[in-house]
Amino acid sequence: MVRHLANVYLPGPLALIFKIKPRQMDQNKKFFSQRAITIATYFGGPLAAGYLVKKNYETIDQPENANKALIIGIVSTILVFAGVFSIPDPILDKIPNALIPLIYTGIIYLIVERVHGKMLRTHKETGGEFYTGWKAAGIGAIAMLIIVSGIAITAFLSGDLNSANMDFDNKAYDKGVAEFLENENIAIAVFNEMETKTPKNLIQEFSNGKDLWQRNLEIIQNLSQIENLPPELKNQDEILIKYCKLRITHHELIIKAIQEDTDKYAQEIKKTGLEITKVLDEMN
């Protein structure tokens, strides 16, 4: 049942191509599939791809290539977002939100095909195991949080927020945002533990996560009431309120599915996951 849920849905280019030395595949080893890496890349950018490719290299005992993959993922993420920031706003406003992620996801898909495609196909054909899409999507979400935090800091340092009306209690706002991010990191960690937890433990973990999202909803609602809040932050808070409500619904559906040991909520879980993705795109 849990395995079925895990497959429902969550929610510069990598230029260096590595050669894989021929070896006998060990079917007891688990890999991240090309599909899983693609999903994580869409959410978490080249950073997520670099990390998952790193894990695959570690599985086949190639630590040097594993470290290179992660470094390339980090550098590529910086280059991608530096390039986005360099695009003039009038032009950037005309570009669909999903276009840039689709471009770098497509590039990384082709690179993973070149690097690990044959190996992953052979592993699948011989009955080898793969990590679930939930685990990959969870890693992608964590990478996305890292990237969003970096963008927010960069925007602040460059004066985007500093030039706005700062006649408000920014210390209280920053404190609330810090608690929000900490709660979110804890709440999404369960998606990386789907395979190792019993149904009883998963219900408890998702229930705790639901409570954290409820707390995050209260945090944002309180922050939105701060006097003289800049319009940019007011708009951001409205989106975050919608985001928290969707996360709460998502957790409630997963808890029901596990408690009842059924897949009848699969479509609702998938639909809510897609709505979460749309909100994330809106935030981007």
Convert the pLDDT of each residue in 102-154 to its tens digit. Answer: 888 899 999 999 989 899 999 988 888 898 888 888 888 888 878 777 776 66
pLDDT band at 20 (very low <50, low <70, confident <90, very high): very low
Distance of CA 223 to the CA centre of its chain: 25
pLDDT of residue 57: 92
pLDDT > 60? residue 24: no
The answer to whether the beta carbons of residues 117 and 20 sit under 8 Å apart is no
pLDDT of residue 21: 40
Cα–Cα distance, 227 to 220 (Å, whole number): 14
Convert the pLDDT of each residue in 49-72 to its tens digit. Answer: 999 999 999 999 999 999 999 999
Cα–Cα distance, 284 to 143 (Å, whole number): 14
- Angle 273-155-234 (CA atoms, 0-180°, nearest 5)? 60
| Listed residue (236, 35, 219) closest to 140, CA to CA | 35
Where in the chain are the domains? 1-17+25-163, 164-284
Mean pLDDT of the chain: 81
pLDDT of residue 98: 79
Amino acid residing at 224: S
CB hemisphere CA count around 127 (13 angstroms) = 1
The dihedral sign for the CA sequence 109, 113, 115, 117: positive
Convert the pLDDT of each residue in 158-196 to its tens digit. Answer: 555 555 555 678 888 888 888 988 888 888 888 777 777
Cα–Cα distance, 198 to 48 (Å, whole number): 27
Cα–Cα distance, 86 to 283 (Å, whole number): 19
SS3 126: coil
pLDDT of residue 191: 79
pLDDT of residue 26: 55
| Listed residue (239, 282, 283, 281) closest to 101, CA to CA | 281
Cα–Cα distance, 268 to 259 (Å, whole number): 16
Convert the pLDDT of each residue in 247-261 to its tens digit. Answer: 999 999 999 999 999
Convert the pLDDT of each residue in 77-86 to its tens digit. Answer: 888 878 877 8
